[in-house]
Amino acid sequence: MPVLRIDGKEVEVEKGTNLIIAALKAGVYIPHYCYHPLLKVVAQCRMCFVKIEGVPRPTTACTVTVDKDMVVDTKDEKVKKLRNLALEFLLQHHPVDCPVCPRSGECDLQNFTYIWGPERKRYDGKRRLKGWIRVSEKIILFKERCVLCTRCVRFLRDFTKTGGLSVTQRGFLSDLTIFPEKFADGSKYSGNIIDLCPVGALVDEASSYLPRAWRVQRTLTHCPMCERGCRVVVEAWENKIVRVKTFDNMLDKAEESLYSQNKNLIQPAYSEIIGIEDIGAHSYDKLYTQDLIMCDIGRWEWRNFFFPKDTNPLSVRGGIKEEISWEDTKKVARTFLSYDKKAILVTPYATNEEMTKFKELAEKVDADITLLPPLEGEEDDILIKRRKAPNYIGGCNILGGVKDEVISKIKSGQYSALIYYGMGANKGSISQKDLRGDFIVIIDLRLERDDFVGVFIPATLPYEKSGHYTFEGNPKKINPACERIPYEIQLCDSLI
Ligand code: SF4
Ligand code: SF4
Ligand code: FES
């Protein structure tokens, strides 16, 4: 394998590795806007200049692959000057409206300017004033903030193949232009252009008025909305989930060390992301599409899927509902043990740990147990999977899958006591309304009936708990973005 020596650090990399990635492996961050590992290299932002030994002039790193031993310097005076000029050029027309920009605090124009930018601009002429324009129902483009890196254009053209954005005109007049009729054709991945945009030009309208980067707590976990389990960052503020987005693999330890050199930066620290240690020594060791992008369902639909949600345990006695404490809930739930014919139904949204606990409970109290079926929908050959639940395979492995005979017996009232953990499951097969029994424990997002005797427990969301989901056959760790009582596990513990 060729050896890259960069700023005095040495690393062996696979032949053909892009120099920006190879440098990251050595712990050196080369600033860039237009480069992205999923997209074709176009070398148009001119931020990534480096000095390569044996090459007379500074070279753009994004166009170089490490094919043989190489000595690279990123701190060369000429290189710094070129970065400074590139930034001065970009800032000529930029509105510098950081105080109202939702990307402030995680913007590569802001951060690079702090580190390499000019102290003042020399250009005093006419500025391009372009305003803002709606790109889609959910996305707005603030044209003056755009640095014309064309990541969004290339993503829509080459990756999703839907098109919709293009750079028109030339030079001073260059403009990012929208073709709404094409954009409306509908990519299921349109939201990625928000994360791919290195500045605050493409903005998610729904989250633009939510707390900024330095105010939220970020947690690295996996999207539970289908069986793929894309890697996502969940942002929470005051213990509430505010945003779900992709994990920026460029935000890595090299970048952290770079940013820590400049005290003015407000970029949140890489080390402060909960669960970051799960990613291993380097996020670029293996690049999977599901680690770099996500679909629009995972990005936006979780709000409608999980909310509104009941928040307190309730005791239910034939039409009378009453809020009770968690301690009292566990006491009332013990009534379940006093019946002979018992059954437990578990959602494919349960973690492996929860499934194992419910199985242990079923064995201990001699109850029948079944997995509930997942919702199903469209799939594609990029990311989206047919089963709309994270842990169907885990449920097959641990609980033996969906047992239709148990579900039929429940519907025909052959059990006296039930535990129905139904959050996110396919209610077409069996819903809260189909449950028959003398005592019922319902664990779900919302209580949909009160004509029974038992308790209701608000389900813990996948973004609120820790454990593992067996996405596509591979167990992956999930981390909680908010602090919640793990009701499901504690219920089992209190009954075992
Ligand atoms: S909108 Fe963002 S991603 Fe698109 S070209 Fe402009 S800066 Fe690049
Ligand atoms: S494809 Fe979409 S829904 Fe499925 S895990 Fe990835 S982001 Fe979530
Ligand atoms: S990242 Fe190399 S020129 Fe833009």
Ligand 1, atom 8, lies closest to the CA of: 149
Residue 69, H or E segment = none
Cβ 45 under 6 angstroms from ligand 3: yes
pTM of the model: 0.92
CATH class of 1-85: alpha beta
Residue 324 CB coordination number (10 Å): 17
- For residue 38, report the distance from its CA to the centre of ligand 1, in Å: 15
pLDDT level of residue 24 (50, 70, 90 thresholds): confident
Token representation of residue 442: 């319902």
Ligand number with the minimum distance to the CA of 224: 2
- The residues, ordered by sequence, that sit 6+ positions from 486 with a Cβ below 8 Å of its Cβ are 460, 465
Cβ 35 under 6 angstroms from ligand 3: yes
Q: Specify the fold of 92-120+127-209.
A: Alpha-Beta Plaits (3.30.70)
Q: Minimum mean pLDDT among 115-129, 276-290, 374-388, 429-443: which range? A: 276-290
CATH 3.40.50.740 at 314-495, yes or no? yes
- What is the number of alpha carbons within 13 Å of residue 490 lying toward its C-beta? 16
Q: Where are the domains of the chain?
A: 1-85, 92-120+127-209, 314-495
- Nearest 5 degrees, angle CA 484-CA 486-CA 487? 110
d(CA 89, CA 414): 75
3-class secondary structure, 62: helix
Determine the atom of ligand 3 nearest the C-alpha atom of 34.
4
- For residue 218, report the distance from its CA to the centre of ligand 1, in Å: 24
Could you tell me the maximum CA-CA distance found in the chain, to the nearest angstrom? 85
Cβ 32 under 6 angstroms from ligand 3: yes
**What percent of the chain has a predicted confidence (pLDDT) above 70?**
93
Residues framing ligand 1 (Cβ under 6 A)? 146-152, 176, 196-199, 201-202
d(CA 109, CA 359): 52
Determine the atom of ligand 2 nearest the C-alpha atom of 390.
5
Q: Tens digits of per-residue pLDDT, 245-270?
A: 998 755 555 566 566 666 666 667 77
Token representation of residue 493: 């513990």
- For residue 229, report the distance from its CA to the centre of ligand 2, in Å: 6
Residue 270 CB coordination number (10 Å): 20
Residue in 194, 208, 113 with CA at minimum distance from that of residue 151 = 194
Q: Tens digits of per-residue pLDDT, 397-430?
A: 999 999 999 999 999 999 999 999 999 999 999 9
d(CA 136, CA 126): 30
Residue 257 CB coordination number (10 Å): 13
- For residue 122, report the distance from its CA to the centre of ligand 3, in Å: 24
Determine the atom of ligand 3 nearest the C-alpha atom of 63.
2
